[in-house]
Amino acid sequence: MKHSEIPAPEKCLLCDNKSLTNHLTLKDYFLTQEEFSIYRCPSCGFMFTWPRPETEKLPDYYKSLEYISHSNKRSDFQSRLYQLVRNYTLKKKIKLIRRFTRGNQILDIGCATGEFLNQCKKQGYHTTGIEPDKNARESAIRNYGLSVKDTPHLSELPSSEFDVITMWHVLEHVEDFKQRMETVFRLLKPDGVAFVALPNPSSHDAKHYGKFWAAWDVPRHLSHFNRESMKLLSEKTGFEIQAILPMVFDSYYVSLLSEKYMRHSTCFIRAFYRGFISNFLAGTGKKEYSSLIYVLKKVQA
Ligand SMILES: [Zn+2]
């Protein structure tokens, strides 16, 4: 079926509102070059990728060595830079967690090859990982001796078990995001805290690159949350937002990839400039950084 022949979605996947706007038509520039749309709900601000690939077909869109968050096999400059920044941000993440939480039971959902959990383990946390990708999972177990299971294992974990649950750029990939947040609610202790990092479609780099913005990443990213829709999702699933914090390196990485999609060349200077401008405008304006970390606590009855 041609993209133009695919029927529009019936309602907003977050608030059920029936009047939606077609926000963008774009391609999977990363892998398949297939065309998708981003639909936007004017009522709650939620955006989502359409059509959504069937569940069985989703893994096909991840089958590439270039997906470096799942693989450390590339060795070009871009990947080395990514890994260097990752090591720095890992430590920043743990510092952030310590600021908001006590207790040492941590669950990382979508832990990929386990670098973050390994850092947590070194810092004295008792770690549990969930990762759907078999290769990434096996790598985390083999390299760091971590306990990492496939996604269905989430339903087998005991309730009120964790002080901290993290999802670093994961929720945008999850098909049933409401159910996932309900699961996070169940697994957290009453005073537990969830850290949810997401790309921000309200950022300057998103607006500047338009359909070439790399963090649309269709169809791997199924949902696109802004502050407004994330607040609604939090409320619907028993959370309140305690803080919203920036991830300042993402603007550079996202700009680099976006430049590649837009101009078919990787111009580091141009990408660096755009990343810097994005952070500068966010810092001096409404804090709409390229990616945001939502710190969520359970609403106490
Ligand atoms: Zn809506």
Would you give per-residue pLDDT tens digits along the chain (301 residues)? Answer: 777 788 999 999 999 999 999 999 999 999 999 999 999 999 999 999 999 999 999 888 987 645 555 445 556 776 787 778 888 889 999 999 999 999 999 999 999 999 999 999 999 999 999 999 999 999 999 999 999 999 999 999 999 999 999 999 999 999 999 999 999 999 999 999 999 999 999 999 999 999 999 999 999 999 999 999 999 999 999 999 999 999 988 989 899 899 999 988 778 899 899 999 999 999 999 999 999 999 999 997 6
Residues 23, 38: contact at Cβ < 8 Å? yes
What's the pLDDT score for residue 64?
65
Between CA 28 and CA 5 the distance in angstroms is 18
CA–centroid distance, residue 39 to ligand 1 (Å)? 10
CA–centroid distance, residue 231 to ligand 1 (Å)? 12
CA–centroid distance, residue 52 to ligand 1 (Å)? 17
- Which uninterrupted H or E stretch holds 184? helix 177-187
What's the pLDDT score for residue 73?
53
What's the pLDDT score for residue 301?
63
In the structure encoding, which two tokens stand for residue 4, read together? 């133009």
CA–centroid distance, residue 42 to ligand 1 (Å)? 7
What's the pLDDT score for residue 71?
47
Collect all residues with Cβ–Cβ distance below 8 Å to 38 and sequence separation of at least 6.
22, 23, 24, 25, 26, 47, 48, 49, 50, 216, 218, 224
CA–centroid distance, residue 279 to ligand 1 (Å)? 28
- Residue 301, judged by CB atoms within 10 A of its CB (0-12, 13-18, 19+), counts as exposed
CA–centroid distance, residue 196 to ligand 1 (Å)? 20
Q: Which amino acid is at 58?
A: L
CA–centroid distance, residue 9 to ligand 1 (Å)? 12
Between CA 8 and CA 202 the distance in angstroms is 23
Question: How many CB atoms within 10 Å of residue 156?
Answer: 7
CA–centroid distance, residue 174 to ligand 1 (Å)? 17
What's the pLDDT score for residue 67?
53
From residue 144, alpha-carbon distances to 115, 116, 161 in Å are: 8, 11, 23
**Sequence spans of domains, the chain:** 3-298
CA–centroid distance, residue 48 to ligand 1 (Å)? 10
What's the pLDDT score for residue 86?
82
CA–centroid distance, residue 24 to ligand 1 (Å)? 17
Collect all residues with Cβ–Cβ distance below 8 Å to 145 and sequence separation of at least 6.
none
In this structure, whether the domain defined by 3-298 belongs to CATH 3.40.50.150 is answered with yes
CA–centroid distance, residue 135 to ligand 1 (Å)? 36
3-state helix, strand, coil in the chain (%, to 5): 40, 20, 35
CA–centroid distance, residue 178 to ligand 1 (Å)? 13
What's the pLDDT score for residue 2?
75
What's the pLDDT score for residue 116?
95
Nearest to 20 by CA among 49, 43, 37, 4: 43
What's the pLDDT score for residue 291?
95
Between CA 171 and CA 187 the distance in angstroms is 16
CA–centroid distance, residue 225 to ligand 1 (Å)? 11
CA–centroid distance, residue 19 to ligand 1 (Å)? 9
CA–centroid distance, residue 262 to ligand 1 (Å)? 30
CA–centroid distance, residue 76 to ligand 1 (Å)? 41
